[in-house]
Amino acid sequence: MKLYSYFRSSAAYRVRIALNLKGLPYEMTSIHLTKDGGQQRKPEFSAINPQMRVPALALSSGDILTQSLAIIEYLDDIQPEPALLPADALDRAKVRAIAQMVACDIHPLNNLVTLQYLKRVLKHEQAEIDAWYHHWVIEGFTAIEAMIAPGPYAYGAHPTLADICLVPQVFNARRLKVPLDKFPKITAVEAACLKLPAFDKARPENQPDAE
């Protein structure tokens, strides 16, 4: 498998964690999202992923998978252990809810393309953009903090899809200087996850394209 990734992309970070947890070998190709006007916009990559975003996962069959949650659930289907979703249907729904609060609510409002649009097209000042970013992270984290089950992970004793989504979002929040003192459960989950080799290996600073 070949993963098209960018070290700071939280969506690609999710897939790296999942691949590592599953113990699946993969080759990585860096798609720099800001260099050269954004390498994701080059014809070579848009032919791989018409949405021009990372991650994309190329399979040995020649098929290309996109969208981090779809990729992760595919990996869970082909490599059932360790399971990234609980066996119980109710628990699965609760884990997916936390994951989707990150991937569907927080992340799209703070993605690179959104922030660039605010700056380049709508001409907002950087301070306004930072306030936008902080607002949506804090609003989302406030809800997630209330939903975290007894740990050490986001939903119990084993890392799940919820942790895979949450840890990269916390990384981005720290990078953009979002205050996290009101979220002790979230930061405790992050600390527990980063002790695991699969999460540590996936950290942005540990990627070959890290700057």
Let me know whether 134 and 192 are in one domain: yes
Listed residues 49, 82, 115: the one ending a domain: 82
CATH number at residue 54: 3.40.30.10
Listed residues 60, 82, 104: the one ending a domain: 82
With the CA atoms of 52, 57, 62 and 64 taken in that order, what torsion angle do they form, in degrees rounded to the nearest 10?
Answer: -40
Q: Kindly write down the DSSP assignment for every residue of 114-152, as one continuous string.
A: HHHHHHHTS---HHHHHHHHHHHHHHHHHHHHHHPPSSS
Let me know whether 125 and 140 are in one domain: yes
Let me know whether 74 and 108 are in one domain: no
Let me know whether 53 and 96 are in one domain: no
Q: d(Cα 176, Cα 63) in Å, to the nearest integer?
A: 35
Q: Is residue 206 part of a domain?
A: no
Angle at 120 between CA 114 and CA 123, to 5 degrees: 105
Let me know whether 96 and 186 are in one domain: yes
What's the confidence (pLDDT) of residue 50? 97
Q: Is residue 151 part of a domain?
A: yes
Full domain range(s) for residue 117: 89-199
Domain count, the chain: 2
Let me know whether 124 and 52 are in one domain: no
Q: Is residue 132 part of a domain?
A: yes
Let me know whether 29 and 121 are in one domain: no
Q: Is residue 208 part of a domain?
A: no
Listed residues 48, 82, 116: the one ending a domain: 82
Let me know whether 21 and 63 are in one domain: yes
Q: d(Cα 154, Cα 14) in Å, to the nearest integer?
A: 15
What's the confidence (pLDDT) of residue 149? 86
pLDDT in tens, the chain (211 residues): 999 999 999 999 999 999 999 999 999 999 999 999 899 999 999 999 999 999 999 999 999 999 999 999 999 999 999 999 999 999 999 999 999 999 999 999 998 899 999 999 999 999 999 999 999 999 999 999 999 988 899 999 999 999 999 999 999 999 999 999 999 999 999 999 999 999 999 999 999 999 7
